Amino acid sequence: MAEILVDMRNIEKSYGRVRALRGVNLQIRRGEIVGLLGDNGAGKSTLIKVLSGAVPYTSGEIVIKGRPVRMRSTLDAIANGIETIYQDSALVPQLSIARNLFLGRELRKGPGFLDRMDIDRMNHVAADLLRRVGISKNIPPTTPIGSLSGGERQAVAIARAMYFDSDIIILDEPTNNLGVAETQGVLRFVREARDTGHSCIFIAHNIHHVFQVVDRIVVMRRGAIVADDLSPRTSSIQEVEDIITGEHLAA
């Protein structure tokens, strides 16, 4: 069995009187892609926000690589090797690919006046990285993110997570609003991330996309995990959909 990277134990989260997470237990191992599924309001987003440090949890424990940690901010999560790629808030459209890749961790040229950036080196590394993740077109690293397609943006965000050696990459609806070819591109990047030793948590409404790429499916309903180790190889889409909606209970 591969090493357990993240162990979320009995996580509770309440917004006032609303219990958004009810004693959630979830483990993520090294090198696996976990699909997190659930209907609207099932608690997927809250769970991801807790793990990425964006919202504090009410009670429970998060253990990362065997060490209990307290997630107080997204920075804590990043420091613990957890990178979250949100749909709308991953990149700055006005900045170049290279400047986005290094945002917050800019390479500096010393001795520099007022923290001068090493723009040449940032461009060089970015160009290298773009080649490595296999963006097919020849896009210079100086291109502003705003002029890239949706799939290319996701690729840049994934490339960034890989470059900074994040153990776990959380992808929140990465295939939304993408065309068929672009979706395949993003799924390929996700597989590549896994093959290079990263784990991924993949959240998507489109269950077909999830089935194409994940190793394990976790289903949430009403703030709790109702299925933890479904395999896309042994379960059918219909079965998973029934669990998501609760139909299997009615049956």
Partner 1 sequence: MTDRSTTLPPGGASAPGLLRAFIAKPEFGPLVLLVLMLVVFTSINPAFLSLTNIGNALTFTVELGLIALAMTLLMTSGEFDLSVGSVFGFAPVLMWTLFNTGAMALPLAFLVAIGAALLIGWVNGLFVTRLGIPSFLVTLGMLLVVRGTALWLTDGFPQRTWSAGDQWLSQVLVGGFCLGGEGETCTGGLRLYMSLVWFVLLAVLFHYVLTRTRFGNWIQATGGNPGAARNRGVKIGRVKVILFMVSAAMAALAGMISSIRVSAANPNSGTGYELEVIAMVVIGGTVLTGGRGTIVGTVLGVLILRLMRNGIVMIGVPGLAYNIFIGAIILGMMALHSALERRHNAGT
For the bound state, the minimum distance from the C-beta of residue 184 to partner 1, rounded and expressed in Å, comes to 21
Q: Which of residues 97-126 bind partner 1 (CB under 8 A)?
A: 98-100, 103-106, 108, 112-117, 119, 123
The dihedral through the CA atoms of 134, 140, 145, 146 has a sign that is: negative
Distance in angstroms (rounded) separating the CA atoms of residues 50 and 58: 10
CA distances from 176 to 52, 153, 156, 180, 182 (A): 20, 12, 16, 11, 10
Question: For residue 171, what are the contacts with CB-CB under 8 A and spacing of at least 6?
Answer: 85, 154, 158, 190, 200, 201, 202, 203
Nearer to partner 1, 97 or 240 (CB): 97
CB 189 within 8 A of CB 202: no
**Residue whose pair of structure tokens reads 């979830």 in the numeric block:** 26
CA distances from 166 to 15, 62, 67, 193 (A): 30, 17, 17, 10
CA distances from 190 to 55, 117, 155, 156 (A): 25, 30, 9, 12
- The arrangement of strands across the sheet holding 59-64 comes to 18-29, 4-15, 59-64, 67-69
Nearer to partner 1, 93 or 197 (CB): 93
Of the candidate residues 63, 144, 188, 222, the single one contacting partner 1 (CB under 8 A): 144
Strand-pair partners of 59: 12
Nearer to partner 1, 134 or 246 (CB): 134
Residue 146 found at the interface with partner 1 (CB under 8 A): yes
Residue 195 found at the interface with partner 1 (CB under 8 A): no
Distance in angstroms (rounded) separating the CA atoms of residues 82 and 172: 13
For the bound state, the minimum distance from the C-beta of residue 95 to partner 1, rounded and expressed in Å, comes to 6
Size of the site for partner 1 (CB under 8 A): 38
Residue 231 found at the interface with partner 1 (CB under 8 A): no
For the bound state, the minimum distance from the C-beta of residue 109 to partner 1, rounded and expressed in Å, comes to 9
Residue 39 found at the interface with partner 1 (CB under 8 A): no
Residue 89 found at the interface with partner 1 (CB under 8 A): yes
Of the candidate residues 13, 37, 86, 218, the single one contacting partner 1 (CB under 8 A): 86
Binding string, 41-80, against partner 1, x = CB under 8 A?
---------------------------------xx--x--
Of the candidate residues 40, 136, 138, 234, the single one contacting partner 1 (CB under 8 A): 138
Question: What is the phi/psi pair of residue 21, to 5°?
Answer: -130, 130
Of the candidate residues 26, 91, 135, 161, the single one contacting partner 1 (CB under 8 A): 91
Interface positions with partner 1 (CB under 8 A): 74-75, 78, 84, 86, 88-96, 98-100, 103-106, 108, 112-117, 119, 123, 138-140, 142-144, 146-147
